[in-house]
Amino acid sequence: MTQERKLFGTDGVRDLANSGNMIPELALKLGRSFIRYTHGRKIVIGSDTRLSGRMLEGALYSGISSEGADVYLAGIIPTPGVSYAVKALNADGGAVISASHNPAEYNGIKFLGPDGCKLSDDDELAIEEVLSHDEHSTSPNVGRIYDAPGLVEDYARHVASLLKPEAAVDRVAFDCANGASAMSVPVLVSATRFAGLSTQIISCEYDGLNINKDCGVMHMDTLTRYVRDKGLALGFAFDGDADRVLVSDSRGRIIDGDILLWVLGRWLKRSGNDKVVVTVMSNMALEAHFADEGITTLRCPVGDRYVLEMMRETGAGLGGEQSGHIIASEYTSTGDGLCTAMLFLNAIHDLGEDVSTLVDRFGRYPQKLTNITLTRPRENVDMAAVNEIAAEYESRVTNGRIFIRTSGTEPLLRILVEAPDAGTVESLSAELASRLEEYC
């Protein structure tokens, strides 16, 4: 792709709600442009719990139906739930209204294809091109709007069916981040052996303004403290749209996406899946562990769409990110926090894993991520100069690396430093942050 997208980032169009690029007028045009580009006739729409969600939903389905496409409104449902519904209904695509891990004042729109996967960069660029020539609809046909709240329960029961009954663990907590999983997790629990165990569901009382607030994957201390204080075996935390999951062990330590991949990679290798796709952010210890297990590690840019693209290109059955986006292609088409949680439980049961020792045995390299707020548009950051400086510093590190990128969802420059020695990581991170301020 040679042209830079202007509206779409790494996870759809995202901005402060009712401001900038996330206003009803643009949502309507995005819906109309999506249909004009894809020619879809049957579309599923879902959202998380943000107050602005219903406002944007009305505008989005108005644009879609004005082009003659029928819309199925799933209501509050995880992003992977929309993906599941698209395939279950044999729909032509889907749209999710969510800003994922961002605070409640943000919102976003991302589109899915008929396979339930996020659209490619080229598809999003094409939608932007259609939108730039937007005109009022002249179609004589108006699509129908259907309320389809049963899709949430269908999705949750599907995920529940993935869990082996014997793999359900007593004394488990689920942190729903006051987000989209708040509608799905109670159904999942009631449909599994968890219903008869000491299962706790927290951060499940959304009010439109408290999504991701002091809970979920963005504030893991809420879950880790709860698990530790209640004497639970482990806990799962999701983000606002539940396409990510992180885990707390019984000692209140975080099991991140890298450790989840380490466990799932070994489990899936039993069925012949010996390739795993990770992003440039994954810890170097993961690659070393996989090498010991005869598993090939493949790296790609940050973003679960790029993970999926490389999985398809290479035939890898598993891929994911340190942040907790995990895709197991046999089970899901996109990052799915609830699905990953069930597969993780299956894996630790089948492998005989002691969850409380995973963090110790993983032995990650010291790693630090520093964020610098951008005062200019990300496309105006001189990344050539930034990468030249990064290379200069990386030459000073033995068996380490430095990776710098602009965020696709927030106005930030992200600096990742990784090395065998924690002191080196700290000093290089501080020096780089100071040196790069002028480029931000």
In which residue ranges of the chain is CATH 3.40.120.10 found? Answer: 13-148, 151-364
**8 Å CB contact between 322 and 339:** no
- In sign, the C-alpha dihedral spanning 201, 202, 205, 206 is negative
Give all strands of the β-sheet with 275-279 in edge-to-edge order: 296-300, 275-279, 318-320, 326-328
Q: What is the pLDDT of residues 200-230, one digit of tens each?
A: 999 999 999 999 999 999 999 999 999 999 9
Average pLDDT over residues 108-129: 95
pLDDT confidence band for 3 (50 / 70 / 90): low
Residues 6+ away with beta carbon under 8 Å from 104: 50, 51, 208, 209, 210, 211, 212, 213
Lowest mean pLDDT among 209-218, 268-277, 317-326, 417-426: 417-426
The CATH topology of domain 151-364 is Alpha-D-Glucose-1,6-Bisphosphate; Chain A, domain 3 (3.40.120)
Overall residue count recorded for the chain in this entry? 440
Has residue 23 got a pLDDT over 80?
Answer: yes
Question: Domain 367-439 - what CATH class?
Answer: alpha beta
Distance CA 301, CA 303 (A): 6
| Greatest distance between any 2 Cα atoms in the chain | 67
Average pLDDT over residues 146-153: 97
Question: Domain 13-148 - what CATH class?
Answer: alpha beta
Has residue 413 got a pLDDT over 50?
Answer: yes
In which residue ranges of the chain is CATH 3.30.310.50 found? Answer: 367-439
Has residue 52 got a pLDDT over 60?
Answer: yes
Has residue 5 got a pLDDT over 90?
Answer: no
Active site residues: 100
Mapping DSSP to helix (H, G, I), strand (E, B) and coil, where does residue 139 land? Answer: coil
Q: What is the pLDDT of residue 2?
A: 46
